Structure 1
Amino acid sequence: MAELESPNVMPKLITFLSSLLQRVAETNDLNRQFQPQKISVFHGLTRPTISIQSYLERILKYANCSPSCFIVAYVYLDRFSQRQPSLPINSFNVHRLLVTSVMVAVKFMDDMYYNNAYYAKVGGISTTEMNFLEVDFLFGLGFHLNVTPTTFHTYYSYLQREMLLQPTLNLAESSLNIGRSLKLHLCFNEDEASHQSQQQQQLAV
């Protein structure tokens, strides 16, 4: 989408995604007391000292990928959350999930991309760990990597709408409305969203 190429759009998108992921992670941190959560290869022993926003800004700066990759990475994170309910996004795994989702999106979307060693350096982890994360992420997605134009448009439109509403809505309320359970899926059921989008397009004809 041409809009994503605008120099002002990506910084706003990164800031919003960071705020959203921060809220989801903090909520799931609290839920750990009440709901069992698996420990996976994405979990660090401690919370990273770098903020989610700074980490995303670092990825944006050094990944040299098309802006669309960040939307696709967001779709992948949502799919992962819905397919792996026992591995909700929290403060211990959000950074590794982010760099892995972006790397996988770049490989799927862009004609040119770096090797895993490069993305490992961007993410501040070892190449061996990056390789393990990629494999686990792919299996966690069930290798469901294709993102149709309808799905892409649905997710991007959702983000645009939320970014416009952000100044007037409490972020906590906005984030809580995104999920359908305490696991806080990042967005919504993809099949339902695509169906609704198709219906709207038909009505507009």
Structure 2
Amino acid sequence: MDDQIEKMIQEQEPMAETMPNVITALSSLLQRVSETNDDLSRPLWEHQRISAFSALTKPSISIRSYMERIFKYANCSDSCYIVAYIYLDRFIQKQPFVPIDSFNVHRLIITSVLVSAKFMDDMCYNNAYYAKIGGITTEEMNLLELDFLFGIGFQLNVTLSTYNNYCSSLQREMVMRNMYSPLLEPSFLTLKSLQISLYDEDSLSIHQNKQLTTAV
């Protein structure tokens, strides 16, 4: 099974040269948040037992590269990353003793995207495939998914206004990023398109019903 999954990953299309703006913005935001919390650092030994999401050492892969890897192989919709961002925010609000830092951010990212893809997309890969993408075992992926769902109280539904508010937050992140990196083009087409077109009344009701099914 592992060999089949590895072959599926290797056969995916090459990654586009330009990541969607939602990936760039979310990577930048999570990088800033994790570095800020690192500066408030707890002793290293505390990371060994603070949560299932905490690694013993900081992963060598950057947040940006990790999200690019997920984008390349998971094939989930751009809107999944917005919803994953919302789920992450819900998690840290409900679990204040597990702040996002460099020790847990990668596991939180892969788990939130997995949960979001299952809720948002009609088709998505299974946990074993996501575990391969994320560089963890299937057993760990299963455990993280369960911990994450309990961590957000199984609150999976996202309203249109909430979704648009988080799109606006990522737009502001792109503005800040472009201010400090003037060579970047300040393009917000992806985020604006998502903000306008994600939901209509029919699709919103479908996702509400899907939440009830998932919770059962």
* Category of TM-score, reference length = shorter chain: 0.7 to 0.9
Match of 2:24 among 12, 15, 20: 15
The equivalent of 2:197 in structure 1 is none
* Equivalent residues of 1:25, 1:90 under 8 A apart: yes
Tell me if 1:133 matches 2:144.
yes
What is the total number of aligned residue pairs between the two structures?
Answer: 164
What residue ranges of structure 1 are gaps of 5+ in the alignment?
A: 1-6, 171-205
Q: Indicate whether 1:114 and 2:125 are aligned.
A: yes
User: 2:74 corresponds to which residue?
Assistant: 63
Bigger shift: 148-157 or 69-78? Answer: 148-157
Q: How big is the shift at 1:112?
A: 0.6
Preserved CA contact (<8 Å) 1:28 1:88: yes
| Over 4 Å off, 4+ runs | 7-10, 34-38
Q: CA RMSD in A?
A: 2.4
Which of 161, 168, 179 aligns to 1:157? It is: 168
Question: Which moves more between the two structures, 78-87 or 157-166?
Answer: 157-166
- Residues 69 and 133 of structure 2 are in contact (CA less than 8 Å); yes or no, is this contact kept in structure 1? yes
* Cα shift at 1:9: 8.3
1:166-204 per-position Cα deviation (integer Å, ceiling 9, x unaligned)? 32269xxxxxxxxxxxxxxxxxxxxxxxxxxxxxxxxxx
Measured against aligned partners, the alpha-carbon deviations of 1:69-107 in whole angstroms (never above 9, x if no partner) come to 000000001111111100000111000000000000000
Among the aligned pairs, what percent are the same residue?
65
DSSP 3-state at the match of 1:77: helix
2-side partners of 1:12 and 1:110: how far apart? Answer: 20
What corresponds to 2:94 in structure 1? Answer: 83
List alignment gaps of at least 5 residues for structure 2.
1-15, 182-216
Partner of 1:173: none
One-letter amino acid matched to 1:11? P
Query: 2:134 maps to which residue?
Result: 123
CA contact (8 A) 2:22 2:78 kept: no
> Secondary structure at 1:166's aligned position in 2?
helix
Whether the aligned pair in 1 keeps the contact of 2:47 and 2:103 (CA below 8 Å) is no
- Structure-1 separation of matches of 2:47 and 2:113: 27
DSSP 3-state at the match of 1:49: coil
Q: Residues 8, 83 of structure 1: CA spacing in aligned structure 2 closer, same or farther, 3 A cutoff? A: farther
Q: How many Å separate the matches in 2 of 1:115 and 1:123? A: 13
Aligned to 1:195: none
Q: Deviations over 1:116-169 (max 9, x none)?
A: 000000101000000000000000001111011111111112212331343226
**Among 25, 46, 62, the residue aligned to 2:34:** 25
Offset, 1:14: 1.6
TM-score normalised over the length of structure 2: 0.70
Identify the match of residue 45 of structure 1 among 56, 68, 78: 56
Q: Secondary structure at the match of 2:123?
A: coil
Q: Which residue of 2 aligns with 1:202?
A: none
